[in-house]
Chains A and B, each alone.
Chain A
């Protein structure tokens, strides 16, 4: 267990409100993304509430064999699966249309596989500079909303929460190859959105 975790855990065990605030602030987004992937938007709140209660109930028995984050996300995944009978669940690999499409086969020559339309050179080369561009943020949010629940959760868990692919597989109980496919499709759609925005200045 990391030193930070040990320190925070001691304060949590003591019932310190500020420690719980730190815990919620740091991890609730990741917990929501896990819940979202398993039960969809409608039941996220209930699942996260269940998970927090379970966390408090079991915190004294947390032994630090995993990081606090992994432990919290595992509890969340279990809460989600309890609500949503796992045997009814099939992994939906649906690929829904995104606002600005994807980097699909049309971008390449069918004869030699070269780019037909080369990637447009973006005007900005840092995330901060890109995000200061007026509507890009809204535009990205719209694209994220267009993804299937599973596709957007996998993308957020990877890119925003920094989870390893194996962790995502274990939490969501989907195969590594499915995680790779979901992630790749999601990224190409987000890429297409940024490219469209950089090229036209419009969302």
Chain B
């Protein structure tokens, strides 16, 4: 059976679907018996979702850029 340390070392690969079938089973087996690692993984997922939900920094100059690109495109097209 994997140790907690080994489970944590595989956690990103587990979340990204990068583990082999066998390693995936080993992680799931460990999780079945280890509440700490279940919490760790649940909070890893929450951390991922939080990064995704962080508001974008407002981008500057979008209108000016769009205007320039559109004008360029109209110049280019026959």
Contacts and interface: CB of A to CB of B under 8 A. Distances in A.
Taking residues whose C-beta sits less than 8 angstroms from the other chain, chain A's interface range is 35 or more
A104 B77 CA distance: 57
Query: Could you say which interface size class chain B belongs to?
Result: 35 or more
Interface stretch (A36-44, A54-62, A66-74, A75-83): A54-62
Contacts, number: 135
Contacts of A125: 46
Given A15-B71, A159-B51, A160-B51, A183 B36 contact: no
Contacts of A137: 54-55
B20 interface: no
B18 A28 contact: no
Given A108-B4, A180-B12, A15 B47 contact: no
18 contacts: A13-B73, A15-B71, A21-B62, A23-B66, A24-B59, A24-B69, A55-B69, A57-B72, A60-B76, A108-B4, A108-B5, A118-B39, A119-B36, A127-B52, A159-B52, A183-B16, A184-B13, A190-B51
